[in-house]
Amino acid sequence: KAGVTQTPRYLIKTRGQQVTLSCSPISGHRSVSWYQQTPGQGLQFLFEYFSETQRNKGNFPGRFSGRQFSNSRSEMNVSTLELGDSALYLCASGPGQGNTEAFFGQGTRLTVV
Amino acid sequence: DAKTTQPPSMDCAEGRAANLPCNHSTISGNEYVYWYRQIHSQGPQYIIHGLKNNETNEMASLIITEDRKSSTLILPHATLRDTAVYYCIVHSNDYKLSFGAGTTVTVRA
């Protein structure tokens, strides 16, 4: 069974630009969550989508947004990039309906210059 | 989700057991204890989880105290590849995990 796939693995963007990251969950999983990891703040929850609807949201500005498609694939978008947005962005998938483990992708390393 | 407290770091000798403690004194009845680990710059990897009873799988054992306010993850025979940050998380779902700082485990030859 294929794992969670995130693309691209690495990305370099300039301040002010926008970026779109992609996450393909494990087949059959309907929940996709996104996390930001920085050295200073650790792993922080961004938002979660379940059956194409945003179900949970973390404490991030509106520049961070996402969506989920009917095949459960998810994208997150960051607009007007700032230097502080440089981070490892991780997505995790799961059934989304109870107590089970989350399966993480390898992440996208975003560098804003 | 309940908060957890873990020591920031610990060393372990290769081949020996590593015992990683975690305090979760505010855990509620429907919350499970989960352990994940993250090897440098990779995505977190699930290790084990439990509710009340002790659990064992091919990677580790989880010992949960009777009052459920603390737990211990045991890596029975640590190898160099077990060097990672280990996160103890208490949650009742799989889609909104609250990660703390974790314990940085260094296995030494």
B34 Cβ under 8 Å from any chain A Cβ: yes
Residues of chain B in contact with residue A35, where contact means CB-CB under 8 angstroms, are 97, 99
Q: How far is B78 from chain A (nearest CA, A)?
A: 23
pLDDT at A20 over 80: yes
Q: Which of the four pLDDT bands, split at 50, 70 and 90, describes residue A85?
A: very high
Report yes or no: A68 at the B interface, CB cutoff 8 Å: no
Token pair 């294929």 is found at A2
Least confident of A37-41, A72-76, A95-99, B15-19: A95-99
Evaluate if residue A101 carries a pLDDT over 90.
no
- Torsion-angle region of A63 (φ positive above 0: left; ψ -120 to 50: alpha; else: beta): alpha
A chain contacts of residue B59, beta-carbon cutoff 8 Å: none
Q: Which residues of A touch B8 (CB under 8 A)?
A: none
Interface test with B, best of A24, A101, A109 (most B CBs within 10 A): A101
Residue B2 in this model has a pLDDT that exceeds 80: no
Under the phi-then-psi rule, with left for phi > 0, alpha for psi from -120 to 50, and beta for the rest, what region is A12? beta
For the residues A28-34, what does the mean pLDDT come to? Answer: 94
User: CA-CA distance, A100 to B38, in Å (whole number)?
Assistant: 18
The 8 Å CB, 24+ separation contacts for A35-40 are: A35/A89, A35/A90, A35/A91, A35/A92, A35/B97, A35/B99, A36/A60, A36/A87, A36/A88, A36/A89, A36/A90, A37/A87, A37/A88, A37/A89, A37/A90, A37/A107, A38/A84, A38/A86, A38/A87, A38/A88
DSSP state for residue A25 in the 8-state scheme: P
> Which is nearest to A49 in space by CA: A77, A65, A36, A68?
A68
Residues B62-86 pLDDT 10s:
999 999 999 999 999 999 999 999 9
Best mutation target, A6, A29, A37, A43, to test chain B (most B CBs within 10 A):
A43
- As beta bridge partners, residue B45 has B37
Give yes or no for residue B88 having a pLDDT over 90: yes
* pLDDT tens column, A41-78: 899 999 999 999 999 999 999 999 999 999 999 999 99
CB contact (8 A) between residue B95 and residue A92: yes
Query: A31 and B95 in contact by Cβ < 8 A?
Result: yes
- Structure token digits, residue A105: 């992708």
Any B CB within 8 A of A50 CB: yes
Inter-chain contact A4–B43, Cβ cutoff 8 Å? yes
* Strands B45-50, B55-56: pairing kind: unpaired
B95 in contact with chain A, both atoms CB, cutoff 8 A: yes
Neighbours of B95 (CB within 10 A): 25
